[in-house]
Amino acid sequence: MTGDSKVPHSAEDPKSLISEAFAMGDEFPGPAEDMLLSWMLSLDMETDARSAAARLLTRYDAVAAQTANPHIARLADLLRQTAAAESSRAGGRGRVAARRAAARGPAS
């Protein structure tokens, strides 16, 4: 894929961060952890990261298996871990509540 290619946006990858990383293949410089964090922060408040990660894996798992780039392999592994993570009542609502509070501004 060339630099001028357009990677489509989707609900599970709103800024195409994961798509672009996998499109880079052996050229992806990493670190995978930074990419995963940026991706998670780009998700809409209502988007479940576990479901989004699972959908992305169905799309890119084969690509990860075909590259020798350890950063791509690590990114795929982090997506697998995210997809398999257990639901946390505080975790999911905590992220949404924090974003809503930030949007409202400082408390009076």
Taking the C-alpha atoms of residue 16 and residue 76, their distance in angstroms, rounded to an integer, is: 15
The predicted pLDDT at position 88 comes to: 60
pLDDT tier at 63 (50, 70, 90 boundaries)? confident
**Residues 49 and 43 sit within 8 Å (Cβ to Cβ):** yes
Q: Which residue has the higher pLDDT, 77 or 89?
A: 77
Q: Is residue 17 pLDDT above 60, yes or no?
A: yes
What integer best gives the mean pLDDT of the chain? 82
Q: What is the pLDDT of residues 35-59, one digit of tens each?
A: 999 999 999 988 999 999 999 999 9
Domain ranges of the chain: 17-104
Per-residue pLDDT at 19 = 94
